[in-house]
Structure 1
Amino acid sequence: MNWDAVTGFFTPWGWWVAALVLAAAETVAPGAFLLWLGIAAGLTGLVTLLTGAGWEVQLAVFAVLAVLSVLWGRKWARRHQGSGPSSVSRRADQLPGRTVVLVEPIVHGRGRAELDDTVWEVCGPDAPAGTVMRILRTEGAALIVEPVA
């Protein structure tokens, strides 16, 4: 093994290339983990530029910065994203009070209605197709509706 080729990576440019590769990999990897490692690599490159540290020190600096950046990133994510479900998963909470039009009649308490280009199962009093109904609540994937007065 050519040891000079391996240690040749430990330059500021080597760390900055690693930072860019990690940041680019973040776009295809799930979660937000590689970004923080990329930041640590970029900062390690800066430390290397300013101090001229050897590869052993560079690896130690990267390890410490990687742990700190991941911990800081988790804290930042919790503060900015919240711990509850996203607005996408709370879509059903936003539906009560809206109106839908039946695309199939409600017969024996079940029918279908269209809302925002999506056809939903609805439950409510029997009504013919074309009737405008108000959403009262959701139960699973079904909308509980009543006729608009």
Structure 2
Amino acid sequence: MDGIDQGWWWLIGGVLLLIAEVLAPGFFLIFIGVAAMVTGLFVLLFDLALAPALALFAIYTALAVYLGRRVYANRPVPAASGHLNDRSAALIGRSAVAVGPIDEHGGRARLGDGEWSARGGPAQAGDRVEIIGVEGNCLIVRGTPKLEG
């Protein structure tokens, strides 16, 4: 097999690795695919034999993995919420509606499509309350002032 045919095989192999990365993402095959494609270009340009092509492929793979890890390892991943591992803390500050009377001894509040135990208030059925804390599965709420209308 001459260098021209070999170069095309390197390019085809690189493209197949990139396709495999799209089908099964893990962000590793992309580095090997890019290295194979660059090797294919060098083989086509300089009509290299198999041994130098394999050596170039090894060097390009190592270089691509090194550069890729350097670029992507230092990239911070933004959290969608500051309370990623504390879901109950994400409820603080939200509004709920009192299902019945809520006082310091207890009551029920509707948050979204669910009902929660609640205490605090005071609030009457239908009043909007603000969640100021969570203890276990009980919302700690305070009544919001009603607007005179």
TM-score by length of 2: 0.64
1:10-56 residue CA offsets vs partner (Å, 9 max, x unmatched): 62221111111111111232421011111111111111112111111
Letter in 2 for 1:125: R
For structure 2, which runs of at least 5 residues remain unmatched after alignment?
A: 145-149
Q: Counterpart of 2:56 in structure 1: which amino acid?
A: V
Q: Which residue of 2 aligns with 1:125?
A: 119
Determine if the alignment matches structure 1 residue 76 to structure 2 residue 64: no
1:53 to 2:51 alignment:
no
Matches within 5 A, 1:27-38: 27-38=22-33
Q: Quick one: distance in 2 between partners of 1:136 and 1:37?
A: 52
For 1:11, what is the secondary structure of its paired residue?
helix
CA distance in 2: counterparts of 1:19 and 1:28, whole angstroms: 14
Pairing partner for 2:12 from 17, 21, 29: 17
The aligned counterpart of 1:39 is 34
- How many residues align? The count is 136
Structure 2 residue 111 is matched with structure 1 residue 113: yes
Aligned residue number for residue 147 of structure 2: none
Of stretches 127-136 and 19-28 in structure 1, the one that deviates more from structure 2 is 127-136
Query: Structure 1, unaligned stretches of length 5 or more?
Result: none
CA deviation vs aligned residue, 1:52-106 (integer Å, no higher than 9, x gap): 11111111111111111011111111233x2x6x424745479366423359668
Secondary structure of the 1:95 match is helix
Aligned equivalent of 1:134: 130
Percent of paired sites with the same residue:
29
Q: Give the one of 79, 83, 102 matched to 1:87.
A: 79
Structure 2: how far apart are the matches of 1:22 and 1:133? 56
Give the whole-Å Cα distance in 1 for the aligned partners of 2:61 and 2:133: 46
The two structures have a TM-score, normalised by structure 1, of: 0.64
